[in-house]
Amino acid sequence: MVILILTGFFEEGYLEKNQDSLIPIFFSGSNVAFRRKVFEDVGLYDENCMIGEDQDICTRIVNSAWELYFQPKAVVGHKSRKTIKAFLKQWYRYGLHHPYIFKKHNPKSLMVYLKKKKAKREILYERTIYRKPFPLFILIFITPFLIMNIFLLLSILSVLLGFNILSLILGLITLGIGIYYFIPDISIKHPWRTVKFIFLRYLVNLALLVGGFLGGAKSKMIYIGATFDYKKRGSQ
């Protein structure tokens, strides 16, 4: 929900405002320009945002009389992290600080999102449960990655408790979900590259998930965030 903003789904023009989304479509702060009058109307960047200040300012813009315009010819170069450790730390920090943004722009409520079977452009999730007002702020994204890891933990627990048949069943379910989840990454022509990418994406999602849970606890909310789920453009 956050990551796919950077993957080229847009066409030139003004972005839609009315969407069933916790955080409206936003532009990365690494390649964006605002009129000075915008800041006079919606305020400056939120200095409490350790991560996601671009989400926050764009959300305030979308909720005002201003609009966001995408120009595909405005291209910049961006250097990625050089080591796996630095890369995972980056995604952990994304997860850790995103709950603050969601809580800032949404009321105290219970919200559960499921992945759409047929995603429209970059909108991958749809809200299936919404309770407002609610005593706590609870936001949960039910993703294949989350389900896969729940079954993985259950299978490990079953092994430790000596439930061999149950652990076998749970292990097979985990394997099936894992195959479904990583299908977009599989390339028969490049098996070693496939293994490396699957391993890296698993670690990235795990860092994002753990960071989000801990960040949610810090923000006094239950937060199970969305993960790096995507489908390659042009694939079926």
Q: Which residue has the tokens 């916790």?
A: 22
Q: Crossing angle, helix 84-104 and helix 53-62, to 10 degrees?
A: 30
**pLDDT value at position 96?**
94
Helix (H, G, I), strand (E, B) or coil at 120: strand
**pLDDT value at position 13?**
81
Mean pLDDT in order along the chain per 10 residues (236 residues)? 44 71 72 92 92 88 88 81 89 92 89 75 74 92 93 96 95 93 85 89 93 95 83 40
**pLDDT value at position 120?**
54
Residues 105, 85: Cα–Cα separation, whole Å? 31
Residues paired with 141 in a beta bridge: 113
**pLDDT value at position 5?**
38
- Closest by Cα among 85, 125, 115, 102 to 207: 85
Q: What is the pTM of this model?
A: 0.83
The reply to whether omega before 144 is within 30° of 0 (cis) is: no
**pLDDT value at position 6?**
40
**pLDDT value at position 16?**
76
